[in-house]
Amino acid sequence: MPQELILIDKQLVERELRRVFDQATTRVLVDVLDRVAAQVHAAGVTRADFQSLREVVQELAQAQARTEARLEELAQAQARTEARLERLEAIVEKLVQAQARTEARLERLEAIVEELAQAQARTEARLERLEAIVEELAQAQARTEARLERLEATVGGVKGQVLELTYRERVWSYFGRLLRRLRLIPIGELEDALETRLSREAFEDLLRVDLLLTGQPRHLPEAPPVWLAVEVSSVVDQHDVERALRRAEALRQAGYPAVAGVAGEQVTPDARDMAEQRHVLLVQDGYAMFWTEALAQVLSV
């Protein structure tokens, strides 16, 4: 039995296609169907054949819908990508501007560092010149101090000589309160006796004594006469005390009961302590100290 031929309702088909496809696609498909309908009538296509074609068309429509949905997704993704790119471009622009500002600041800092380096170089050069000047001044100061020391030694020697002369001229004023019948003895008067009784070194050292005195202790009228070996210095120090002790000891070795004494305008603390501890007569500006102890030490021998 021959199958039923297909009669195509063009308006119905066009309405169905518009439900699925857009207007442009629908027009294309309608044109195709027109040609197909003509061919169907010419070829005698059956309903079953058309049903198969309809299924194919539906599958094409579904594929078209999926394609359009995918295209929509891609379009949205592209829009998001472009938005992100715009944001990135804005960030990059900001970074470029920040980099430009940073480079400008670095250039300014480099200029400042260069200026500081030059200033430091100038400062170091000035310091080197100052150090050289200070070194020269230090050397000049050292030379000046050496000259001052020589001058002080000279002045001290001159003052000591003047002071020694003063003590010689006023010996009774300084020592008359300590000794009665006081005499200033030139060391040469004892030269023969001293030279035979002392070593060469002790004899020559004793010849340099500043003052050699003898007399009877004023507050001990029954005591025998004593001798007094005095070292005179403008500033009495420990060396003066040591010389007085050494020369008084030499006199005692030669048989003369001698007291060690020092005299001057000033006295160092160490010299004063030493004179007190070693029982040495100390005369400062005419004031006598430690006389009783020094005399007792000699008389008890």
173, 177, 180, 183: CA torsion to nearest 10: -30
DSSP state of 46: B
Residue 95 lies in a domain: no
Rounded Cα distance between 212 and 244, Å, is 11
Domain interval for residue 234: 170-299
At what angle are helices 238-253 and 269-277 packed, to 10 degrees?
A: 30
Residue 246 near residue 173, CB atoms below 8 Å: no
- pLDDT for the residue numbered 253: 97
- pLDDT digits 0-9 by tens, 17-34: 777 677 777 777 777 777
Residue 214 lies in a domain: yes
Residue 198 lies in a domain: yes
- Supply the CATH number for residue 243's domain: 3.40.1350
228, 229, 299, 301 from 225: Cα distances, Å = 10, 14, 10, 14
- CA-based end-to-end distance of the chain: 181
pLDDT higher than threshold 60 for residue 5 = no
Residue 233 lies in a domain: yes
How many domains are there within the chain? 1
Q: Phi/psi at 284 (nearest 5 deg)? A: -125, 115
- pLDDT digits 0-9 by tens, 201-217: 999 999 999 999 999 99
pTM beyond cutoff 0.75: no
Residue 10 near residue 30, CB atoms below 8 Å: yes
Residue 257 near residue 224, CB atoms below 8 Å: yes
Average pLDDT, the chain: 85
- pLDDT digits 0-9 by tens, 58-112: 777 687 788 788 888 888 988 898 888 888 888 878 878 888 888 888 888 888 8
Least confident window among 48-62, 93-107, 113-127, 257-271: 48-62
Residue 271 lies in a domain: yes
Residue given tokens 């230090």 in the structure block: 138
Residue 191 lies in a domain: yes
- pLDDT for the residue numbered 301: 64
Q: What value, to the nearest 5°, has the Cα angle with vertex 158 and ends 207 and 166?
A: 70
Residue 73 lies in a domain: no
Structure-model confidence comparison of residues 173 and 7, the more confident one: 173
pLDDT higher than threshold 60 for residue 116 = yes
Residue 65 lies in a domain: no
Percentage of the chain with pLDDT > 90? 44
- pLDDT digits 0-9 by tens, 220-266: 989 999 999 999 999 999 999 999 999 999 999 999 999 999 999 99
Confidence of residue 290 (pLDDT cuts 50, 70, 90): very high
The contacts of residue 178 (CB under 8 Å, 6+ apart) are 215, 217, 218, 228, 281, 288, 291
- pLDDT for the residue numbered 138: 79
Residue given tokens 């006469």 in the structure block: 225
Confidence of residue 156 (pLDDT cuts 50, 70, 90): low
